[in-house]
Structure 1
Amino acid sequence: MSALRPLRRGVNLLGARYVSQSARVATNGSNILQRQLPSPLQGRSSAAGIAPRFTAGPSVNSQNGATRRYASTASGPVKKTQLYDLHIARGAKMVPFAGYSMPLQYSDLSHVESHHWTRQKASLFDVSH
């Protein structure tokens, strides 16, 4: 009897999936159903209608065989915003961000204290760049 339980549960899950996919309106309010959206697998077929399996392949390598690495910061000289001098005068610890020198925290507050101050009061983000 216990061997039938997983099968029944699987059948129930398949039925629930069918009902959820056959709804007239998607949860985001769109009239397009998921099965109507273009699929990255569209046009590909496999035996018995089973979707192909994706396996982890080798890492992306450059032509010389070395692994490519990407920097999360801009290369070149770091630019200064119009408020740079004000931040320095107030004791800001400046860090590179999106190619600009931006304040991370001020010398009179720890990182956590700065976070709490911002949450409890107000803080401005320098978007002059």
Structure 2
Amino acid sequence: MQFSSLVLMEVDKETNQFVKELGSFEASEGAQFVTKLNYYGESINLYFDTQVDVEEWQYTAIYDYFNEEAFTSKGYSIEVVDDEYNPTWLVKFEYSKDHNVVSDAIIEICELIKQELREAFENIKGKEEEYK
């Protein structure tokens, strides 16, 4: 599925209810992995996963080979969300009222997601026996 944009929603921290739409942002190919994009008043939270169901051994292997440093080196916070069925991460970054600043960050993050997931899947090929 091709995505042309992602919608950023403000969410009330106490009620977890949507407050309003903060904008629609151009997205690159990596947006296909984004599962949630919201703002809780402190930072923007972008959740993403592998988009495909993975085997049990792949779950651990993907986390081992996924390069989180690619995100942190660009100033983004990234953490594993370990209560999901497939490997999932949360990237946090600063909100700006400047649409272009947020748009540029989303595009950059989506590109990093696409690149790092592709590399992780490539790097785990043939490693099934190591993870069983």
TM-score normalised according to structure 2 size:
0.26
* Structure of higher CA gyration radius: 1
More strand by share: 2
More helix by share: 2
TM-score normalised according to structure 1 size:
0.27
